Amino acid sequence: MITPGRKLGRYEIRSIIGAGGMGEVYLAHDTQLDRTVALKILSAEIGRDQQRLSRFLQEARAASKLKSAHVAHIYEIGETEGHHFIAMEYVEGQPLNSKMGGRPMEAAEIVKLGIQIARALDEAHSKGITHRDIKPQNIIVTSEGEAKVLDFGLAKLSAIPSQAADLTPDSQLATKVKTSPGVVMGTVNYMSPEQAMGRDVDHRSDIFSLGVVLYEMVTGRVPFSGASLTETIDRIAHAQPEAIARFNYNVPPELEVIIKKALRKNRDERYQSARDLLVDLRDLERELEFSAHMERSVAPPTTHSTPSATIGGNRWLLPIPSASRQPNFGSSLRAS
């Protein structure tokens, strides 16, 4: 661990904010540009492993291509004093898993965040990038309610026709560090069936993982979980998630349909692109906004208060007269 106050090149370490299999993430100050950054530093052990070092560099190369407002931006990749690092945008907020707190969220907020995450994936997939580790811990929700997708450390680059020239020769990592079939990477509860089984994955694996995240936002729990890693993988590959209505009755039917389609076992039956998923979420958002507008537009029913009078310091209720007679206060007073 690097102690606060130490400088690595132009970056002054402030505090540690996270750690993972690839290394540690620090809050740091860029003394040259006078801004706060998140500095991800590769562990020394991994730095000596050329294959794992290539994966670390792949994260920066992949994320640096993305221009979405819902992806944490990469500022610099480099090496100083024997430390390989990535300086990236520091996103203030809370991880989505902390925001959920194991409880269902409101439908409107789920749809809003789902749209933003889908936009980030649409941008990544259009650049030939599959994230492979979409989970609530990798999604930060800012104080303004905006979602930012972090950590492309497991990202897989795959050449697409419009980007093939861009990925070679400068991005030869695209072919060097593609994970071989049989190697499982990612967080198991959010994996697609093909990923959990160690098969090759494509962008539709991210769509399944987003479906898991949406299910958790709706129900407060993941759809596939077992007592062991093997049991969890088996459920991901073969079991159907429990009905959403069992945990949350206030879910729009359209949202349940969207989640079910994203969670199809057969990737050919899922949404074939993040753009398609995004379109359905936007349509649902418009429907929810229209319903909310209609509810606000309906005037509340007029209420009639019971007539009363104060006599001698006591409050007396008066009978409501019918249309056929006038009130007779002298004979109809009663104490309340």
Q: Are 93 and 141 in contact (CB under 8 A)?
A: yes
- Radius of gyration of the chain, Cα coordinates, nearest whole angstrom: 28
Catalytic site positions: 133
Q: What whole-number distance in Å separates Cα of residue 44 and Cα of residue 233?
A: 32
* Spatial CA neighbour of 244 closest among 264, 265, 226, 258: 258
Residue 67's region, left for phi above 0, alpha for psi from -120 to 50, else beta, is: alpha
How far, in Å, CA of 213 to CA of 111, rounded?
Answer: 12
**Which amino acid, one-letter code, is at 325?**
R
Residue 306 to residues 16, 122, 315, 320, Cα–Cα distance (Å) = 64, 60, 12, 7
